[in-house]
Amino acid sequence: MKKAYVLINCSLGSEKEILEALRSLSSVKEAHGTFGAYDIIAEVIADSTDKLREEITWKIRKLPYIRATLTLTGVVGQS
């Protein structure tokens, strides 16, 4: 199982709508609003790195009102 954390910047006032959309995706384990440089953080899981990339690129990043994302992946052997 592969895991990534996606930090999301969105249009002002669209946080609730984006959180609802993220939480409806089967690949999103958790999604939370945040204070600071990013508006939302989402934990995304998939069976492979390729599937993880597809989920982030074609489902999450294409959601309306998302302006920018930053994806963080874990380092193998550092748990």
Domain spans in the chain, listed from the N-terminal domain onward: 2-73
Q: Which residue has tokens 């006032």? A: 13
Tokens found for residue 51: 């599937």
pLDDT at 7: 98
Architecture of the domain spanning 2-73: 2-Layer Sandwich (3.30)
pLDDT at 79: 61
- 21-29's contacts with Cβ under 8 Å and 24+ in sequence apart are 21/63, 22/60, 22/63, 25/55, 25/59, 25/60, 27/52, 27/55, 27/59, 28/60, 29/3
Q: Report, as ranges of residue numbers, the positions in the chain whose pLDDT lies below 70.
A: 79
Residue 19's contacts (CB-CB under 8 Å, 6 or more residues apart) are 31, 32, 33, 40
**What's this model's pTM, rounded to 2 decimal places?**
0.92
